[in-house]
Amino acid sequence: MRIFALIFALLCGIFVLAQPASAAVEARIHLTSQRMVVVIDGIKTGEYVVSTGKRGYRTPVGDFKPTRMHKKYYSKKYHNSPMPNSIFFNGGIAVHGTYEVARLGKPASHGCVRMHPRDAAALFGLVQSHGMTNSRIVVTN
């Protein structure tokens, strides 16, 4: 019976390829606790230690969409510092990996959200697989 339905759909021009469902990826960054919670389709899938803007530099608060992504990126503004797995969300502000892992858990950046390189790679992969349009970065105090 299925084969007849498939042939009928093809003949009528109403055949539609099934596409995998896209989950909404949400990275929730809490400035006070220096933590990020990652949620997919409303289900918490991970929690990570981060470092956000230090005194004199601020990580913007709000609800953002990723604007661009770079697997390998180097800061043009801050001495060519490596920013692996960068997900930019507000001008030059990004979520990215850092090799200064000893400073995670305390404000230490110029406004970006730093993560352990392993965690940044995992988040980058999630946003890449689900798409930037299906992803959000939410920063709260």
- How does pLDDT run across 71-96, given as a tens digit for each residue? 999 999 989 999 999 999 999 999 99
Q: Output the pLDDT for position 4.
A: 43
Whether residue 51 has pLDDT greater than 70 = yes
Sign of the alpha-carbon torsion through 99, 101, 102, 103: positive
Third-level CATH fold of 24-140: L,D-transpeptidase catalytic domain-like (2.40.440)
CA-to-CA distance for 112 and 110, rounded, in angstroms? Answer: 6
Whether residue 3 has pLDDT greater than 60 = no
What is the band of 16 on the pLDDT scale with cuts at 50, 70, 90?
A: very low
Average pLDDT over residues 92-104: 97
Residues 105-137 pLDDT 10s: 999 999 999 999 999 999 999 999 999 999 999
